[in-house]
Amino acid sequence: MKHKGSCHCGQIRFEVEGSFDEVVECNCSHCSRKGYLLWFVPRGQLTLHSAESALATYTFNKHAIKHHFCPNCGCAPFGFGASNGTEMAAVNVRCLEDVELASVKRKSVDGRSF
């Protein structure tokens, strides 16, 4: 299944291929402040339909994840990183068009302990 997503103003648009049964709700200082609900997929499953130059990037702590956001509206639809040598995308499902958030199962992760 393909999911379409974007930032709030539409400057950043993307599609992601796949399906999910649950998402990650992390309590680290960044995720909890942003309200992220994350779905992790191999980077190749996310197709960016905007120029990469449209993305602003924030890193913190170990600087391992590139948290991308829109410099215009501030919305943060995804981030890029690696897990066990595989390039990954962390998709914020709040930015997907076709997701009913009330029905999404959430898995709590204690990111404050990382």
CATH class of the domain comprising 2-99: mainly beta
Evaluate whether 68 touches 55 at the Cβ level (below 8 Å): yes
State residue 2's pLDDT score: 96
Residue 28's contacts (CB-CB under 8 Å, 6 or more residues apart) are 111, 112, 114
Per-domain boundaries in the chain: 2-99
State residue 63's pLDDT score: 82
The total of other beta-carbon atoms located within 10 Å of residue 7's CB is 25
Residues 49-80: pLDDT tens digits? 999 999 999 998 878 889 999 999 999 999 99
Q: Taking CA 29 as the corner, what is the angle to CA 69 and CA 84, rounded to the nearest 5 degrees?
A: 75
State residue 60's pLDDT score: 85
- The amino acid present at 82, given as its one-letter code, is A
Evaluate whether 72 touches 9 at the Cβ level (below 8 Å): yes
State residue 26's pLDDT score: 94
Q: Along the 114 residues of the chain, how does pLDDT read in single tens digits?
A: 999 999 999 999 999 999 999 999 999 999 999 999 999 999 999 999 999 999 999 998 878 889 999 999 999 999 999 988 999 999 999 999 989 999 999 999 998 988
